[in-house]
Amino acid sequence: MWREYFGFAGTAVAVINGIIAMVVALMPVRRSVLKLRLGVVAIALAVLAIGAASYAKYRTFIQVERQQAERSDARTQLSAFLTEGRELLGQIRDAKRALPTTAADEWALRTETYLRDKLGDEYIERFRKDADELYGYDAAVAAPRMAYWRAVRNRVVNLEMIGAQFLGQP
């Protein structure tokens, strides 16, 4: 919390330096030692202000870099989850292959864990939400596989919508 105040330190020190400059200007000549001391205080405050402003700028830069790195990591991970979900949809659709129930459940669990840890609980609700028929027809899927098809399809569609927040922005 105290680090947030460094952004205001430059302004506060500038005001104080202005007041010191006015006091020095209004002092009589015979007070040269006091003028010198006030000048030294003003210089010290100016150095402090420059340091505080530099630190605030550096801290902002670090925060932006960290946010971009987190966003890039989220993009990468969400893309991996989407690819895996699409592969699961292909396996479910193919009646010749075994139904990947365990793989689908593990994929959903890993995705939910990631969403909870990195993005927040509200993304889990969005991930689990039902998608309407607009996002894919069920006709090509055998009846015994329909429940897993819909569950994985809904989650893939919702993950694509969640990922659009991260994938669409640099």
Over residues 7-18, the pLDDT tens digits come to 676 677 777 878
Domain end among 39, 63, 87: 63
Residue 86: Cβ-neighbour burial (10 angstroms; 0-12, 13-18, 19+): middle
Residues 114 and 154 in one domain: yes
What is the domain extent for residue 133?
Answer: 67-167
Phi and psi of 166, rounded to 5°?
-100, -35
Q: What is the pTM of this model?
A: 0.66
Residues 39 and 95 in one domain: no
Residues 147 and 108 in one domain: yes
Mean pLDDT of the chain, nearest integer: 82
Count of domains for the chain: 2
Nearest partner of 53 among 21, 1, 15, 12, judged by Cα: 12
Confidence band of 6 (pLDDT split at 50, 70, 90): low
Residues 71 and 59 in one domain: no
Confidence band of 3 (pLDDT split at 50, 70, 90): low
Residue with the two structure tokens 């895996």: 84
Higher pLDDT, 106 or 165: 106
Cα–Cα dist 120/165, whole Å: 14
Looking at the predicted structure, is the pLDDT value of residue 84 above 50?
A: yes
Residues 44 and 104 in one domain: no
